[in-house]
Amino acid sequence: MSEHVKCLIIGSGPAGYTAGIYASRANIHPVLIEGMQPGGQLTITNDVENFPGYPDGSGGPAIMDDIRRQALRMGTDIRTGMVTQVDFSKRPFKCVVDDTDEIIADTVIVSTGATARWLNIESEQKFRGFGVSACATCDGAFFKNKTVAVIGGGDTALGEALYLAGICAKVYIVHRRDEFRGAKYLQDRVFNTPNIEVKWNKLPKEILGEQKGFIRQVTGLLLTDKLDNSESVIDLDGVFVAIGVTPVTELFKGQLELDEQGYIKTQNGTPMTSVPGVFAAGDVQDSRYRQAITAAASGCKAAIEVERFLLEHGE
C-alpha cells in the first residue's frame, strides 16, 4: 500500500497533536502516526496543574485526550502505528509505517519526543506518578514543605534541586560520585542553599513506600554506599530522577543533523531542520525546556512553517 500526503506528522503528544490542529485548519489534511506512546510523556503524569486552560488541574491522560479529540475534530487523520523507515534524501519524502505501508509526504513534522532515563529498579515503576517523577517543574508543587530527593549530579539534577529547594522543606541530592558534573555556578548555588544536603557516593537501591488499595505513597529511599557497601535509609515524600533524557531520534540518524546529545538541530529558533521540508517540534528538538506547553507551541510553529513551505513550492 502506498499513498501520497501533503504533510505527515511522526509522533503524537502535545507537539504532534497541536501540529495536527493547525495543519488541519490550514486545509493541509495531515496524517499523524501516533507511535509507541500515543499522547507522549504526559500520559504517565497523573496530576498536571501548569497546563493553561485547566484551572483546577487535570490528569495528563485527560489533557492529551482532549487535545487529541480536538485534532480529530479539526480533521487530522490520526492512525495507530510506528514509522519504521524514512528517506529524507529527496522530496517528496518516503516513509514506511509498521514495515509495510508506504507514505510519500511533501512535508514531514517530526514530533517523536524524548524519554526520561530511569533508574530501572522495580520500586521505581511501582511509585512512578505516586511520588516518583522525572520533572520538578511539572510536579514539584505537590511536595510543598515536604522532603524530597533528587537523583543525579549533572546540570539537570542541580537545577532540579535548586528549584525544589524553593518549594520543599528539605532536598537531598543523591549522587553516585564524590563530585558533581554540573556547572560550577550551579554547584556553588547548591552548596550555599541551606535546605539542600548532598549524599555522596550513594546508589539508590529501593524506593520505599506504602500502598493502601489504589493509593501509593513514597516514604523513603534505601541507599547503598559505593565505598563500603553499607546501606542507609532517608525518610522522604518524593523522589525526582534527574539522570537525563534521551530524544527519540534513532530513526533519523543519517537523515537529519543531530547535536551531540542526539536532539534534532533546528535553525534560528524555528522548527526547520537540516532538510528543507522536514520540521521538528517538541522535546525531540528541545533539550532546555521540555514542557508540554512549549511542545504544543512548537507544534503550532511547525504546522505554520509547513503551510508556508507548501505555498512557496506551489503545492
Catalytic residues: 135, 138-139
Residue 106 near residue 310 (C-beta atoms within 8 A): yes
d(CA 299, CA 22): 8
> From CA 200, how far away is CA 206, in angstroms rounded?
17
